[in-house]
Structure formats: structure tokens, C-alpha cells
Amino acid sequence: MRTPNFRAGLPLLGVLAIGMLAGCSSVSAVTKERVARSESSLQQAQQAVGRSEAGAVELQRSRDNLEQAKAALGKKEGEKAERYAQLAQLDAELAISKSQSASARKAADEVLASIQTLRQEAARGAVANDQ
């Protein structure tokens, strides 16, 4: 019975290790998908924020991070592209949230103003009925 020759497998392991390291320097499909998703999130945020000031800073930060992610993709820096894409998506989501919050706050203020007006009119009506 022959014992396996482990030395013969060593060059193969070296080739595999080099191949794995080379694979690390390229950008994965997951990273490319994440950059694409962050771009989609940015577009949604642009529509949600519109010309409003609420969320404008976060929207710009999202744009900047997306540009950085795309630049990192071009340089085949997968981890960096991934990080910037995540930041871009989070900033886009924050911009949407701030915009929606500002809209809700404005609507609530309008409702409160309407209630105040109704109370004043009701008070005037009560005074007029008392006289």
C-alpha cells in the first residue's frame, strides 16, 4: 500500500492560495449590487426630499459617498466600495426620514393652528350667545 505523497500537493496549494488572493483584489458581484442599490436609494431620496431643506445635507453626503463608492469600484477596491455604498444608502435613508419628519411636523402645526382657530371662533360664539 502506498502512502500519499503530500509534497506533490504543495504546488497546487500555492496556486490555490494565489488564486484566492487575486480573487480578493477583484470586486464581487455583491459589492457591485450594493453600489447599485445605494444609487437607487439616492434617487428615491432625491425625489422624496425635492427642493426641501430638510434632508438636503444628508442627500449631499449620500451623493458624495456614492461617488467614492464608484471610484473605489473603478480601482477594484471592494471593501472600500462596500463601505462607501453602505454610507451612501444610510445617508439617503436619513435624508428621506428627515424630509418626511419635516412634512409631518408641518402638517401637525397646520392642524394645531386650525384647532386654535376653531377654539377662538367657538369662544366668540359662546360670548355672543351669553349677551
Q: What is the pLDDT of residue 102?
A: 86
Q: What is the pLDDT of residue 62?
A: 95
**DSSP string across 3-47:** PP-HHHHHHHHHHHHHHHHHHHHSPPHHHHHHHHHHHHHHHHHHH
Report mean pLDDT in 10-residue bins for the chain, 131 residues. Answer: 46 40 65 92 90 89 95 93 95 92 90 93 79 68
- What pTM was estimated for this model as a whole? 0.65
The number of C-alpha atoms within 13 Å of 115 and in the hemisphere containing its C-beta is 6
Q: What is the pLDDT of residue 25?
A: 53
**Could you give the CA distance from residue 19 to residue 14 in angstroms, rounded to a whole number?**
8
